[in-house]
A and B are shown apart, each in its own frame.
Chain A
Amino acid sequence: MRARFRWGGVSRFIVRRLVLGLVVLFLVSLVVFAATQALPGDPARAILGRSATPTALAALRRHLHLNQPVFSQYWTWLTGLLRGNLGTSLAAQEPVTTLLGPKLVNSAVLVAVSAIVSIPLSIALGSWAALKRDKIFDTVSSNLLLVLAALPEFVVGVVLVILLATIVSQVLPAISTIPPGSRPWNYPSYLVLPALTLVIAVAPYVSRIVRASMIEVLESDYIEMARLKGLPERTVMLRHALPNALGPVFQVIALNLAYLAGGVIVVEYVFNYGGIGSAVQEAVLSHDLPVVQTLAMLIATVYVVLNLLADVATITVTPKLRTQL
């Protein structure tokens, strides 16, 4: 009975967050549409060129629904988006899905590799620093991470190129251009530097939060209680301390993953890695509306979904919060 009540609380919480997330996404879609409407220039003319006849222009505008009122354009766009019909790239004259598909895979692989490396690494670093609080390891790692956290990611990237790919040593390729048609996992060495850059950009922040959260938990009464009960230190750490320390960490991890989705824009540029980052840039520079809209919606959705997952994970993993629902 009590367990069912708790799960009722959790599911109600999830539903509430889901609705909120959908509201935010709806507002995001309004903003994206409004912003791209403000882009100067006539898409029909951009496609057909200057020598286009007025009849051809009118026909294309009709085809692109540009002659309809703004609201119905928005509706066509939104319903198309929901059905997976993302429109046609104005610059490449290809469906947005075919154009972005491979790039999306490239970026997803890069983000996934960075996340798989950085999250366990930073949880380990942060927990260890908390256990060895104020000892040498803690002091050195805290200060080092503080300095690394302050560096812009393109600076980290270029410094890595200097250290590992050009001046100091040449063990890795400086440029990670994945040939079209092939997949990033066929070129593991191309992934190392961009992923390392993203790890260095993300890990300091997560491990600092883990450390702070872990220190707070280690000082709590229930950890003292567990120790006084004579539980082995291993059990105290893994069963009592870590689950309670990870609550706030999930929020930070989610924010960081969402951040990675944006951080790749610059890092992909540094290494000329063909992912959504370079796609954003090209689309923005060539005023390619459908691509900009799709990418903005995509990145925003990633962000909202990750935040939702973080909230749910926090609730499920933190016994204290779960019982309060």
Chain B
Amino acid sequence: MIPVAGADMAAAAPLETPPVRATSLLRRSLRLWRTRIGVGLVVLLVLLAIVGPFVAPYGSGTFVAAPNSPPGKGAAFGTDYLGQDVLSRLLDGGRSILLLAFIATAVGLIAGVVIGLVAAYARNAFDDVLMRGMDVIMAFPQIMLALVAVAVVGAHPWVIIVAIALTTVPRIARVARGAALPVVERDFIACSEAMGVPRWRILFGDLLPNTLGPLMVEASLRMTYSIGLIAALAYIGLTINPNDPNWGLMIRENQIALTFQPWGAVLPIIAIALLTMGTGLIGDGIARTAAGIDRSRGAE
């Protein structure tokens, strides 16, 4: 998991091609098996997280059997370190991670796109000022900024969202700016300017559609990292409510019992791994489609 942007992708795209519509890019990327598998995994885990709490056999805090009981009649996957049902906690534990990761990525995406496009369009010192500001945020590892934010303000949902979004912004902004820079120089932008099109419409009507390919790739990458980060924060012990089940927290709680009751840690590991693999595969599918390298090969 490396938070590096594929900013060069935009520069590599030929300038003559008309912008690919976002929906058509998504549809075309679905011809690839990797995207289909990715979408399948994400849909599966999102369903698990949404429907899970309603079908869980026990409450997430209910005492079911002796702590760390092996799988048996009462509990399909045994009990955790406090004697709670592992399956029920797994079914309950996805919602908060998914929700927080989605909101944080969305907020970071919107703010990052605005900053990146404004910087690319400014073409003056303002561009430098914005991007140096982004550098300052980028100088802190995402997890460190999140740790400090949670320590300063407390583990509220909005603190985690703001911290993750804040660290997402510069990475998105870099990609947006990188993709928009060559577009800014093109004639149709000068044309729009000459026609007196308002600046915000140039930014979001002319520039944005031309940067969507790399942005969608980066967004899915960011989503992957946001999920990992939020799960890692919970794993370290910084959760909103320590009593709420949460996949990251479950791994931490049950890691000690790995040798005699592995399910408590293994199931949430599988859940997080499948989820991040899914978002990763979707991003790769879109990237390949956008780069057009699969055009001749078709579906693999």
A residues near B (Cβ < 8 Å) are: 20, 23-25, 27-28, 31, 35-36, 38-40, 143, 146-147, 149-155, 158-159, 161-162, 166-167, 174, 201-202, 204-205, 216, 248, 252, 255-256, 258-259, 261-263, 265-266, 269-270, 280-281, 284-285, 287, 292, 295-296, 299-300, 303-304
Contact = CB atoms under 8 A, between A and B. Distances in A.
Contact of A159 (B8, B151, B269): B269
Given A39-B152, A266-B232, A281-B236, A150 B2 contact: no
A31 B284 CA distance: 35
B279 A265 contact: no
A161 B25 CA distance: 40
B201 interface: no
A143 B280 CA distance: 11
A146 B284 contact: yes
Q: In this complex, which of A158, A159, A255, A256 has the most chain B Cβ atoms within 10 angstroms of its Cβ?
A: A158
Interface residues of B, number: 48
Contact of B141 (A20, A27, A262, A281): A262
B195 interface: no
Interface in B167-191: none
B127 to A, nearest CB: 14
A202 B143 CA distance: 16
Contacts of B284: 146
Contact of A150 (B132, B224, B236): B224
Given A35-B148, A284-B150, 20 more contacts: A25-B139, A28-B140, A147-B281, A150-B276, A150-B281, A151-B1, A152-B1, A154-B251, A155-B276, A158-B255, A162-B258, A174-B258, A259-B141, A262-B143, A262-B144, A266-B236, A292-B148, A296-B140, A299-B141, A303-B139
Interface of B: 1-4, 8, 12, 34, 132-133, 135-136, 138-144, 147-148, 150-152, 224, 227-229, 231-232, 235-236, 248, 251, 255, 258-259, 262, 265-266, 269, 272-273, 276-277, 279-281, 284
Given A150-B1, A150-B277, A150-B280, A265 B141 contact: yes
Contacts of A159: 269, 273
A28 B1 contact: no
B147 A261 contact: no
Contacts of A262: 140-144
18 contacts: A36-B152, A40-B152, A152-B231, A152-B232, A153-B228, A153-B232, A154-B232, A155-B276, A158-B251, A158-B269, A162-B258, A162-B262, A259-B3, A262-B140, A262-B144, A263-B1, A281-B236, A284-B150
Nearest to B142: A262
B140 A300 contact: yes
Given A162-B262, A284-B151, A300-B139, A155 B273 contact: yes
A256 B4 contact: yes
Contact of B280 (A36, A146, A281): A146
Contacts of A39: 151-152
A150 B3 contact: no
B280 A31 contact: no
Contacts, number: 152
Given A20-B132, A154-B231, A281-B236, A266 B259 contact: no
A39 B255 CA distance: 32
Main DSSP-derived SS at the B contact region: helix
B276 A296 contact: no
B165 to A, nearest CB: 16
A248 B4 CA distance: 12
Contacts of B135: 24
Contacts of B248: 154
B258 A281 contact: no
Contacts of B232: 152-154, 266
Contacts of B262: 162, 167
Contacts of B132: 20, 23-24, 27
Contact of A35 (B152, B224, B272): B152
Contacts of A166: 258-259
Nearest to B235: A154
A154 B251 CA distance: 10
A255 B4 contact: yes
Contacts of B228: 151-153, 155
A102 to B, nearest CB: 20
A201 B142 contact: no
A85 B165 CA distance: 34
A269 B236 contact: yes
The 3 A-B residue pairs whose C-beta atoms are closest, nearest first, are A262-B141, A150-B280, A152-B228
B4 A158 contact: no
B139 A151 contact: no
Contacts of A174: 258
A158 B138 contact: no
A280 B144 contact: yes
Contacts of B152: 35-36, 38-40
B141 A263 contact: yes
